[in-house]
Structure 1
């Protein structure tokens, strides 16, 4: 069996990944089993460079706030803002402090201006997208930014009589942002504003604004740039998603947390489909958001289960979506030591390579009908590979040892 497993391993590069796939997918997703390790992000960066240079990919989408990501996209495409400002304001979840993310932004900007003094034509420029909602573990953002931006876009281009409300009326209904962002609401539904009368009215207005955007698409697409219209669609999706999320934060049923997890991935999926409409994109996030199977976790002592963004996107795109998971050997600075030899990670750890790309389907065949038991992690921040899901991945990247960032 060791020989069979060795035969499935190749060097980690874009060519090895693409050889696993029947064609160039519109969305090529690389997952990671833990967050915050720059060595994994440097690997992501190198794969993206190769995909740009060898396969024509032009967009990278990462698990970060989709609205903040516009700051990064503006910088890499047009030079707006300084690098320090972009790293401070363009990322959520603390990703802006990552040296690897800083390197990614710097390289993308340099690539876009490298061709000549005028830079690359818009169709050839690299683009950046955050595809998470404006959500953190402790809560969700106010829908104000997304709704007011959508209202401003429409009011500048359509007759005022068509709009369902004025900007001032919308502002009054939204109230202060701290009503929406109370971190206690994540675990205390009664603290959420999401099912208040005002929130219900705002949700209806958001639906009307998005319907207006959709109904006037021909006029708006021809009267403004594609990017301006695309951003308006992002504002609309985000506003609707946030209001739905806030509504379920105020729910008291046992399904509440699973519903919130599912709504987050639904927001992710819809943004990824919009990214895919622009052309081939490389996606990076946690394995649990990109896999084709249902995702599971425990939160607040309860088991949660929901369909991941990858499962939703795969159902829509079919072979135009590809998912490569990442598995790890050790993260010793987090107490994750050498994997047991009877786990998938343990079998791969015995290979001589420090990192490799593995044909997941061939590996599943080599393992036979009886899958190894899942590895158990001593650290909550690392999710080992589920052997039962191995054949549902298009490939597997294995990194033997993850050094401290």
Structure 2
């Protein structure tokens, strides 16, 4: 069997990934089975460099706050915010991102690549997650006020649904919105207050005005400025909708919250795809085409993942390559059992390889490996039942930490 499996593997190169696909996708999703591991991020960085140099890719988007990601994009495209330390601190929403040496090297390399190049050839960076954490959701202030400010500078005042002082009054204290207690106690949420309901109407009106004035706004500012305003608009409306459901007390609450986060991520990725081909990077679970599930209060919670939403819209222009690993010994994940998918791949001599997932599924036939069970909650093994639903795999034999 090991010999047969070896026939499905290739070197970890962009060209090998592309040969698995019917055409160059607008969104090439590279998943990872755990967060915060430099070895996996180094693989991502090298693939992105090759995609840039060989396949014309110009954007990378990662599972980080879409608003803080603008700090990184400004830096790599124009040098704005010349202190790289500050950019790394402010431009990523999770500590495992901004403290990561490979992420720092990615930003440094992108800035160096862009130096002296025309705008049309520069690399772009994006975060595509909402301003959300597992513990709370941010205030919509930043997105709402930025959208209002953009419109106020370009359209007649009487077209605006309100002035900035109205937004400030309705928003109130940002800490009330971001209160972690609201995640477990709907009564602590601002999401169904009179102020929040009015803000949802105003945000909808601002987004409608942005859409209605598109030709004027692009002409007077730039397509880039208009695109950024669209980001503010969908983030403001998405956050207000998310807060609304945080205040819900029905059994649908967590299903809606999970689905809304996936939709916010999908909307951001579809906007990234409008720029041209992009590599996008996040946890494997966000990119799968099948429904996502997790146990919640003794029952399964189900929602359509980001990859399912994007794939439904883009078809073959969306591709998903999952990453699998053998060992993660510093987290207690030792050599995989030989009857698992990771165990079969671990028998191969290569430290890293690209795997033709569909061909591997054909080789395995009806005899699928057993699902691997992780002893650590932070690592999610691949589900062999969905092997053929992946466009490819990247396998890393041993993930180490210096």
Instruction: Normalising by structure 1, report the TM-score.
Output: 0.97
Gaps of 5+ in 1: 114-118
2:87 paired with 1:90: no
Q: Equivalences for 1:159-238 in 2 at 5 Å?
A: 159-238=156-235
Partner of 2:54: 54
Paired residue for 1:127, among 124, 128, 138? 124
Match of 2:103 in 1: 101
Distance of 2:65 and 2:183 partners within structure 1: 18
Q: Distance in 1 between matches of 2:249 and 2:379?
A: 30
SS of 2:280 mapped into structure 1: strand
- Distance across 1 between alignment mates of 2:35 and 2:104: 16
**Offset at residue 303 of structure 1 (A):** 2.9
Q: Secondary structure of the equivalent of 2:381? A: coil
In structure 2, what is the Cα distance between the partners aligned to 1:56 and 1:236?
A: 29
In the alignment, the residues of structure 2 paired with residue 375 and residue 11 of structure 1 have an alpha-carbon distance, to the nearest angstrom, of 24
1:293-304 aligned within 5 A: 293-299=290-296, 302-304=299-301
Worse-superposed segment, 53-62 or 217-226 = 217-226
**Partner in structure 2 of residue 32 of structure 1:** 32
Are 1:271 and 2:272 matched, yes or no? no
Deviation at 1:299, TM superposition (A): 4.7
1:135 is paired with a residue of what secondary structure?
coil
Show CA shifts across 1:330-360 (max 9, x none): 1000011111111110100011111100000
After TM superposition, give the deviation of residue 311 of structure 1 in Å: 0.8
Task: Provide the residue aligned with 1:10 in structure 2.
Answer: 10
Q: 1:93 to 1:17 in 2, by over 3 A?
A: same
Please, which of 331, 346, 351 is the counterpart of residue 334 of structure 1?
331
- The residue that corresponds to 1:66 in the other structure is 66
Segments of 4+ moved more than 6 angstroms: none
Tell me what 1:116 maps to: none
In the alignment, structure 2 segments of 5+ residues that lack a partner are: none
Structure 2 residue matching 1:3: 3-state secondary structure: helix
| Partner-residue secondary structure (3-state), 2:154 | coil
SS in structure 1 opposite 2:274? helix
In terms of mean alpha carbon deviation, does 289-298 or 33-42 score higher? Answer: 289-298
Q: CA deviation at 1:370?
A: 3.2
Counterpart of 1:348 (choices 345, 348, 352) is 345
Distance 1:300 1:351 in 2: 40
- Give the Å deviation of 1:301: 5.3
SS at match of 2:361: helix
